[in-house]
Structure 1
Amino acid sequence: MRHYDLVVLGAGSGNMLLNEEFDHLQTAIVEPDRFGGTCLNRGCIPSKMFVIAADAAEDARAAERLGVHTSVAPVDWKAVRDRVFSRIDPLHESAVDYRRKNGVDVYTEEARFVAPKVLQVGDERITADTFVIAVGSRPVVPDIPGLDSVAYHTSDTIMRIDDMPPSMVVIGGGFIAAEFGHVFSAFGTSITIVQRGPRLLMTEDEQVSARFTDLASQRHRVLLDAEVTSVEPHGDGVAATVVCPDGAHVIKADLLLVCVGRRPNTDRLGAAAGGLELDEHGHVASDSAYRTSVPGVWALGDAVNHFQLKHMANAESRLVRHNILHPQDVRTLTNRVAPHAVFTSPQIAGVGLTEQEARRDKADYRASVRDYADTGYGWALEDTTGFAKVLADPAERTILGAHIIGPQAATLIQPLIQAMAMGLTVDQVGRGVMYIHPALTEVVEQALLAL
């Protein structure tokens, strides 16, 4: 068996862990798929490139409200798709070559633990003093009768299709459904979303979730409190039987997109043989320093946390790197402030406590909501639906949560994220900072001042 100082399983955020500080060690990366992981190849990066194109088409159509008369010719799907993947696809080979040229062994076969700190990779077994598990996650495929008889898609495959479908059924009402619903609708596809719950984006603050559900229902056919009970082929497309509060309906479409969640890839890892403990959701159990139940084995990313956020995995990668290199100065990451964004239309961003969580936890809080339309820039945008919401502790005067729906939400929320991370009060971040007039950031300022 070949022995290493360090072996990293997974070349998404796991690949980011190795830098020049490890050059003196014998290291290896195990990645049976593509370097860059979900984010680069099937997630954040390509989907946002599609979103940018969808935003351009949507903005052009909406320009008439500003007195600018435009039209959008049929979208060239293949040109949009090829722009995305002609830039992304070459990165895998260059990443593998870079690692090998710099002394890192790269294994491209499936790997499973056969004993603690003993890894079977293809026909070879390797051991290491230190392992980092960063094997990521994959889409959940629900047990729907007939699903195996139709050519359905998930977020892994939908961006690489050859032709834009005239119609699409989307199973699921989370962020993937919201983003791809926006993309394909902007490109001209008729969208039907089937959501089991009473609103879309159920994990968002309920006020944001309700506003987005209302806006999405104006663009798409949205079936709430509904469930797909079976699917079957229908011509070149699919027919889905959907049970709604008013009875069963058969929805026919050219394409079926399944996006009901993701699961960690730890079930392919041989966790039990490797002595690794998993939680009830299949995530590797770890402490706040990301040490697992096996000494010398660390974990990060979707394999260990429940956030499924690239920026969280990146932060964990930096932390685990430090802890491996400095065992006498082990640091922790509490995950107290974990922001997120949904790049749909309108854009959504959130961090911290939602109002429904505050009520559930019987927390003492105050909330403030300010509409985009109350600001000069929001007025210029003719925006009538966007708002910023901030929740704070009335005793400590610190921010408990922030939620924004509207243009540039993912950017506008950043000062609130920093305020929460640094423990600043609403007074410090509201009155103690100047906000440019008439920039859109004034919606944040006004929400804080009202609070």
Structure 2
Amino acid sequence: MPVEDLDLVIVGSGSAGFAAAIRASGLGLSVAMVENGTVGGTCVNTGCVPSKALLAAAEARHTAVDAGRFPGLAAASLGLDLPALMDGKRALVEWMRREKYVDLAEDYGWRILKGRAEFAGTAGEPVVVVRCPADGENTDGGENTDDGEDTDDGGNTADGGAARLRGRHYLIATGSTPWIPKLPGLADVDYLTSQTAMELEEVPESLLVIGGGFVAVEQAQLFARLGSKVTMLVRSRILSGEEPEVSMAVSSVFHDEGIRVVRRAVPTAVARGSAGVTVTADVAGAPAEFSAARVLMATGRRPVTRGLGLDRIGVTTGPRGEAVVDGQLRTSNDRVWAAGDVTGHHEFVYVAASHGALAVDNAFTGAGREVDYRHMPRVAFTSPAVAAVGLTDRQANDGGIPCECRVLPLEFVPRALVNRDTRGFIKIVAEQESGRILGITAVAHDAGELAAAGVHVLASGTTVHELASRWAPYLTMAEGLKIAAQSYTADVSRLSCCAV
């Protein structure tokens, strides 16, 4: 079979792959992209877009139920047609996939080859072989098992294929897939993942959520607000990587909304039960059983690299199957780069997109840029939302940085008062000697917007004194950043509205 020569061959069509292809096209390079599943990757198809669309709908429904917090309004109960809601979600996903992915590829002029990609050749002369999927074959990535391997290898071989692509450089952008631990009995249960939960046609009467990370808390609140009785089994505390105040605030919100959070719970077995599913867990050293109609495994994700033949071309993978990269996103093969979730780095779509563009710049222009996560924001789209940027209190101390922190309850933020929702806080971590702001965390309505503003605060080296004296529009949540900074030198309970 003849080999097609290109400047860049991309394996994967998610955010990392598209950002790379757009940057490469802008440089006048020839590009081909290979996609094994649905064009667009996880974010638009099964991740960010569908989950946030459903979360927004659930919040609209909950707002009606919670309207009584405003004097003069009565709580209302809105009906729910889940199939119709899912149809609307699918229509949005399909539109965004077409507008932001398929049509863009056509506009820029690069080809998307459908099929399984596998590297062949040698480390010095790698080639990507594309094997077309058989009729009816499921081309979406399989779930990862406890050994960190993708269970859907499809019987790939490097001997045949529908196309052979040779690039000056290659980009691995195959993303990640839900990771499922090997629990006794789990294989016999029709469990949900963050992806399959987005396709339900009826709301489970009850739901067990295993996990306490970003996906777990979002899915728990989503289904609780749609009518499920939700119980979470969490190994330590929810959102354990963030400030401890976050766990306390979100746990309090969940308690008020009827979501039960069981901490120090380690599942040990799963079985079919009279209610649907029974999970046995070790809870603080004692056995306990939990039953529900369905169980959702929100236990993290793993990179998808199995079946790519990376060992043949000298690309090193890590213990979770990740493509090991240096700070510039180059793998152990100088011609092969990796971007996004497949690297095992932070699993955010904007990280993947940044990776893709950076890898192309480094590969073809010699930019020599390295990934810098110091000011990377992170958001959980609960309600109120959780958002953070920079260091936590603990991270600063572990890094040997003497710091001074302030936690501002939302009762001191005018926007929260008029919203009649003071659940949450804003926390600032500042270097003790200079006052330079090192981290910002918030649990609040539109907390993600606060983190976005916090990116610029941290990147500019702003001090708490400077932030406290800068303009902030009244009755915005962002004004809370200014008030939190003022709390370093003033008793904010004794400030009037708009006090400077």
Q: Secondary structure at the match of 2:51?
A: helix
Out of 69, 75, 79, the residue aligned to residue 80 of structure 2 is 75
AA paired with 2:129?
Answer: Q
Shift of 1:361: 3.2
Match of 2:244 in 1: 206
- 5 Å-filtered alignment, 1:320-335, equals 320-327=359-366, 329-335=367-373
Q: What does the per-residue CA deviation read over 1:109-132, in whole Å, with 9 as the maximum and x for residues that have no partner?
A: 121223332222211432211111
Instruction: Call closer, same or farther: CA 1:158–1:414 in 2, change over 3 Å.
Output: same
The answer (yes or no) to whether the contact 1:34–1:92 under 8 Å persists in 2 is no
* Structure 2: distance between partners of 1:365 and 1:260: 33
Instruction: Give the CA deviation at 1:434.
Output: 0.5
Listed as ranges, the matches of 1:28-427 within 5 Å are: 28-67=32-71, 68-89=73-94, 91-92=96-97, 95-96=101-102, 99=105, 103-114=109-120, 115-116=122-123, 117-122=126-131, 123=161, 124-197=163-236, 199-218=237-256, 219-234=258-273, 237-245=276-284, 247-327=286-366, 329-427=367-465
Give, as a single letter, the amino acid of the residue that structure 1 aligns with 2:474. Answer: H
Q: Which amino acid aligns with 2:209?
A: V
> Which string of whole-angstrom CA distances, capped at 9 and with x for unpartnered residues, describes residues 204-242 of structure 1?
111212222233234212211112211122358222222
User: In structure 2, how many angstroms separate the alpha carbons of the residues matched to 1:119 and 1:321?
Assistant: 18
Gaps of 5+ in 1: none
User: What CA distance in whole angstroms lies between the structure 2 residues aligned with 1:430 and 1:112?
Assistant: 55
Any idea what SS the aligned residue of 2:306 has?
Answer: helix
Deviation at 1:77, TM superposition (A): 1.2
Q: Could you tell me whether the CA contact under 8 Å between 1:238 and 1:253 is conserved in 2?
A: yes
Check whether the contact 1:373–1:384 (CA below 8 A) recurs between aligned residues: yes
Taking a change above 3 Å as real, the CA distance of residues 375 and 233 of structure 1, as seen in their structure-2 partners, is same
In the aligned structure 2, how far is the partner of 1:27 from the partner of 1:292?
20
Is the 2:173–2:339 contact (alpha carbons within 8 Å) kept by the matching residues of 1?
yes
Counterpart Cα distance in 2 of 1:212 and 1:363: 28
Aligned 8 A contact 2:426 2:440 in 1: yes
When structure 1 is superposed on structure 2, of 32-41 and 225-234 the one drifting more is 225-234
2:11 matched to which residue of 1? 9
Counterpart amino acid of 2:59?
Answer: D
Question: How far apart are the structure 2 equivalents of 1:149 and 1:63?
Answer: 43
Which deviates more, 420-429 or 221-230? 420-429
Q: Decide whether the 8 Å contact of 2:233 with 2:266 is kept in 1.
A: yes
CA distance, structure 2, for counterparts of residue 65 and residue 102 of structure 1: 51
- Do the aligned partners of 2:23 and 2:357 also contact (CA within 8 Å) in 1? no
Pick closer, same or farther for the CA change 1:411–1:102 going to 2, 3 Å: closer
Secondary structure in 2 aligned to 1:273? helix
**Rounded Cα–Cα distance in structure 1 between residues aligned with 2:107 and 2:379:** 37
Deviation at 1:104, TM superposition (A): 2.2
- 1:441 lines up with 2:478 in the alignment: yes
Given that 1:276 and 1:292 are in contact with CA atoms closer than 8 Å, whether structure 2 keeps it comes out as yes
Tell me what 2:152 maps to: none
SS at match of 1:19: helix
The answer as to whether partners of 2:25 and 2:108 remain within 8 angstroms in 1 is no
Separation in 1, partners of 2:307, 2:424: 43
TM-score (normalizing by structure 1):
0.93
Residue 28 of structure 1, CA deviation:
0.7
- Measure the CA separation in 1 of the matches of 2:221 and 2:487: 33
Which secondary structure does the structure 1 equivalent of 2:426 belong to? strand
* Cα separation, 1, equivalents of 2:296 and 2:181: 12
Q: Is the 8 A contact 1:392 1:398 kept in 2?
A: yes
How many matched pairs?
448
Task: Indicate conservation of the 8 Å contact 1:373/1:382, yes or no.
Answer: no
Classify 1:253/1:330 alpha carbon distance in 2 versus 1 (closer, same or farther; 3 Å). same
RMSD of Structure 2 on Structure 1 (CA): 2.1
> Cα offset for 1:404?
0.2
Q: Name the CA distance, whole Å, in 1 between partners of 2:23 and 2:459.
A: 29
Does the C-alpha gap of structure 1 residues 76 and 439 become closer, same or farther in structure 2, counting only changes over 3 Å?
same
Percent identity (aligned): 30
Q: Residue 236 and residue 103 in structure 1: after superposition, are their counterparts in 2 closer, same or farther (change >3 A)?
A: farther
User: Quick one: distance in 2 between partners of 1:22 and 1:357?
Assistant: 40
- Whether the aligned pair in 2 keeps the contact of 1:206 and 1:356 (CA below 8 Å) is no
In 1, distance between residues paired with 2:369 and 2:23? 20
Quote how far apart the aligned CAs of 1:187 are: 0.9
How far, CA to CA, are the matches of 1:356 and 1:102 in structure 2?
46
Q: Which moved more, 1:353-362 or 1:438-447?
A: 353-362
Return the alpha-carbon distance in structure 2 between the equivalents of residues 51 and 428 of structure 1.
36
Q: Which runs of 5+ in 2 are unaligned?
A: 132-160, 489-500
8 Å Cα contact 1:100-1:106 kept in structure 2: no
Tell me the TM-score normalized by structure 2: 0.85
Q: Deviations over 1:280-327 (max 9, x none)?
A: 443222222222221222211111242101111122222223334422
Structure 1: 4+ residue segments shifted above 6 A: none
